[in-house]
Homo-oligomer: A and B are copies of this chain.
Amino acid sequence: MWRSAQPGSFRAVATEFRSPLLIVGIRPTPEKLVRRSAYPGRSPLAIGSGWSRTWTFLEGEWHEGNVPIMGPRTHAAWLCSIVFDGARAFEGVTPDLELHCARVNDSAAKLFLKPTVSTETWVGLAREGIKKFDKDVALYIRPMYWAEKEGPWVQAHEPESTRWCLAIYEAPLRTPRGFSTTLSPYRRPTLESMPVDAKAGCLYPNNARALFEANSRGFDNAIVCDMLGNVAEFATSNIFMAKDGVVFTPAPNGTFLAGITRRRVIGLLRKSGVAVVEKTLTYQDFEKADEIFSTGNYSKVVPVTRIGDRSLQFGPIYTKAREFYWEFAHSSAVHSGATASSAVSPGS
Contacts and interface: CB of A to CB of B under 8 A. Distances in A.
Contacts of A84: 78
A19 interface: yes
Contacts of A33: 21, 28, 30, 33
Give the copy number: 2
Interface stretch (A59-67, A118-126, A285-293): A59-67
A136 B30 CA distance: 37
A63 B82 CA distance: 25
A246 interface: no
Interface string A10-37: 0001111111111111001011011011
Nearest to A54: B73
Nearest to A68: B68
Contacts of A49: 16-18, 23
A298 interface: yes
A156 B235 CA distance: 9
B68 A20 contact: yes
A81 B208 contact: yes
Given A25-B63, A65-B23, A206 B194 contact: yes
A111 to B, nearest CB: 6
B153 A221 contact: yes
Most-contacted residue by chain B among A58, A73, A84, A149 (CB, 10 A):
A73
A231 B203 CA distance: 23
Contact of A17 (B18, B41, B206, B227): B41
A209 interface: yes
Given A36-B19, A48-B149, A189-B193, A71 B72 contact: no
B72 A67 contact: yes
A196 to B, nearest CB: 10
A127 to B, nearest CB: 18
Given A14-B41, A156-B208, A78 B23 contact: no
A208 to B, nearest CB: 4
A195 interface: yes
Contact of A36 (B28, B42, B54, B207): B28
Interface of A: 1, 13-25, 28, 30-31, 33-34, 36-37, 40-51, 54, 56, 58-61, 63-74, 76-82, 84, 111-112, 142, 144, 146, 148-149, 151, 153-157, 161, 165, 167, 169, 185-190, 192-195, 200-209, 211-212, 220-221, 227, 235-236, 298
16 contacts: A13-B41, A13-B42, A14-B41, A14-B46, A16-B41, A23-B65, A30-B31, A68-B68, A72-B167, A78-B142, A79-B201, A79-B208, A80-B80, A80-B82, A153-B220, A188-B193
